[in-house]
Chain A
Amino acid sequence: MRYHTPASFDDAVGIAADATGVTRFLAGGTDVLVQLRADIVTPDDLIDVKHIPGVRDITQNSDGSWAIGIAVAGAEMTECPALIADWPGVVEGMDLIGSTQVQGRATLVGNLCNGSPAADAVPGMIAAGATVSITGPDGNRTVAVEDIPTGPGRTALNKGEMVTAVNIPARGDNGGDAYLRFIPRTEMDIAVVGCAVNLRVDGDVITEARVALGAVAPTARLVADAATAIIGTTLDEGALAALAAAASAACNPIDDKRGTIEFRTHVAGVLAQRAAKIAYARATCAGGE
């Protein structure tokens, strides 16, 4: 295994593009090192991105949108009050990954590019409408987060391409988001189901919504029907029931050691309701201020 510490994205892309064997980017390493240790993946080239200037920065742009560097650890996000105020659900999703120790290393982009259907940070980003900036041998592009994972362990990134930042839209007025996951214990488990809800209200009526589910399909997914179920409502009982039904209907899970199809499908609806209530409270409370 060759270990590289490029000082720029161009250098990193150059190494990745020229590599002939298995290549991995190293940010927090909380997945890469586990796979290395367990002999699941031993890269021929390991590219440590943490020496690239700016990758540890959390930046709020003048339009209120956010750019999160690819080596920003979860713990650094939870120490950024302005980001939490804008996007509590996005930060919650990141914060739920692993232990305090893992939070000292794990990153949004690592969680995304690892390609796990159960990645906790991903539904929140999808619900928020986040995109990632990508650079590669053929130039730069911007891709919606929901279009990055293509299946368990697989992404839409081409050979030599890498993510350079996560872009989260400006929060804007009267919005709120939330992420909840179900695990058997209180901590340290992989999500059995994850659900993020991001919405905006006008008074007490929901005007915009995005609902994303994790761990119930080969990739985290945006569930348009679930959003439709609550748009135009005050999140009344009927809307909540429709939301749960839409969330459950969107599930295409597997039976495995972490949960059953039956259980995941049911709990997706439960979590969608609970996350929506939190997001709604945040949006209406923000509106009231």
Chain B
Amino acid sequence: MTRIHVNTTVNGDKVDFLADPRETLLDCLRDKVGMTGAKEGCGTGDCGACSVTLDGRLVCSCLVLGVEAEGKQVETIEGMANGGELHPLQQKFIEYAALQCGICTPGILVATQALLKKNPDPTEEEVRYWLAGNLCRCTGYDKIIRAVMDTAKDLRAEKVGGDV
């Protein structure tokens, strides 16, 4: 099978790999780029554990081919913290016990970050619908939703403070 040389950017760093066109971006991130933060829970776009952003757009990396990443900007959970400094969402998820087994957590964090960029003041219902494609089997979602709502509130307060 002929493999294709793919040049892409992951979390700001240029990377390249050889991909069989049948391989998904998720496969390539995990097996070729060495980033295993995105997980495969279903392979059919139903669970969201593989969530990444592609040119700023939230997608399931299991529903993107690796070869489609050519020339794109990919952001994964590994790029969320600023070095040793956690993103406020990451910090809040720990504080709120918004994870139990943690397998869905990377995808939920990536998805939530995309939500708050688009909508800094979401209602509970908006958070729940935005995250409907991120399955969590442990928590019943309660603490996740609370962590997201509270982070959004903090970030808004920070922004207001910054403006003053």
Contact = CB atoms under 8 A, between A and B. Distances in A.
A186 B54 contact: no
A270 interface: no
Contacts of B63: 28-30, 33-34, 101-102, 105
A30 B62 CA distance: 9
Interface in A179-209: 186-188
A3 interface: yes
A191 B121 CA distance: 30
Contacts of A75: 57
A168 B131 CA distance: 31
B28 to A, nearest CB: 13
B113 to A, nearest CB: 12
Contacts of A33: 24, 45, 62-65
Contacts of B133: 98-102, 187-188
B37 to A, nearest CB: 16
Interface stretch (A36-44, A84-92, A121-129, A217-225): A36-44
A257 interface: no
A38 B24 CA distance: 13
A37 B1 CA distance: 17
Nearest to B61: A101
Contacts of A187: 129, 132-133
Interface in B128-142: 129-134
Contact of B45 (A1, A36, A48, A102): A102
A3 B62 CA distance: 17
A46 interface: yes
B4 interface: yes
A105 B57 CA distance: 9
Given A187-B133, A188-B133, A101 B48 contact: yes
Contacts of B51: 101
B130 A100 contact: yes
Contacts of A26: 65, 68
Interface in B29-82: 43-46, 48, 51, 54, 57-60, 62-65, 67-68
A101 B48 CA distance: 7
Contacts, number: 88
A287 interface: no
A104 interface: yes
Q: Size band of the B side of the interface?
A: 20 to 34
A73 interface: yes
A100 to B, nearest CB: 5
A104 B57 contact: yes
B22 A29 contact: no
A3 B67 contact: yes
B131 to A, nearest CB: 8
B46 A188 contact: yes
Contact of A46 (B21, B111, B130): B21
Contacts of B54: 104
Contacts of A37: 24, 43-44, 62
B45 A3 contact: no
B59 A105 contact: yes
Contacts of B129: 186-187
Interface in A1-46: 1-3, 26, 28-30, 33-34, 36-38, 42, 46
A188 B22 contact: no
12 contacts: A2-B2, A29-B64, A34-B43, A48-B68, A98-B45, A99-B133, A100-B58, A102-B45, A104-B59, A186-B129, A187-B132, A188-B133
Report the 10 A-B pairs with minimum CB-CB distance, sorted nearest first: A99-B133, A187-B132, A3-B21, A104-B57, A101-B60, A104-B59, A33-B63, A34-B44, A104-B58, A37-B43
